[in-house]
Amino acid sequence: MSTGKQLLEELRKDEELRKALAEELIPEVLRNRELRRALLLAISREMATKEDIESLRRATKEDIESLGRATKEDIESLRRATKEDIESLGRATKEDIESLRRATKEDIESLRMTTKEDI
């Protein structure tokens, strides 16, 4: 096995060795202009830009507004459905009351007739 491969194998296995190597290399990287530039470019590619953040902010705002509109529509739809249900129940209740009135009147009339016959 080559020395380079052995070194990589050792670095993969030993966290303290990796840390020590990084501590040795970082000052050298920071002294070298080209290495600093490469490091900064790599870091900057991983960072969100102001435009990225603003774009996310706009998209989030649009999503919130859209959800707000959808929620209002859902609430209004539920209001209408509830109102219709209440009106329907009101009509059904009135019909039931009228039916009971008629049945009660018929029962009263029947009792009157029976009472008259008995008298």
Residue 91 lies in a domain: yes
Q: Token digits for 31?
A: 């002294």
Give the pLDDT confidence score for residue 47 in this predicted structure. 82
CA pair distance 8, 14, nearest whole angstrom: 10
Give the pLDDT confidence score for residue 42 in this predicted structure. 87
Residue 94 lies in a domain: yes
CA pair distance 39, 36, nearest whole angstrom: 5
Give the pLDDT confidence score for residue 99 in this predicted structure. 96
In degrees, rounded to 5, the angle at the alpha carbon of residue 16 between the alpha carbons of residues 10 and 19 is 100
What's the pLDDT tens digit per position in 18-53? 999 999 999 988 899 999 999 888 888 878 888 888
Q: HSE on the CB side for 26, CA within 13 Å?
A: 6
What's the pLDDT tens digit per position in 85-108? 999 999 999 999 999 999 999 999
Domain encompassing residue 21: 1-47
Residue 83 lies in a domain: yes
CA pair distance 40, 46, nearest whole angstrom: 10
Task: Tell whether 85 and 41 lie within a shared domain.
Answer: no
Task: Tell whether 66 and 92 lie within a shared domain.
Answer: yes
Give the pLDDT confidence score for residue 117 in this predicted structure. 84
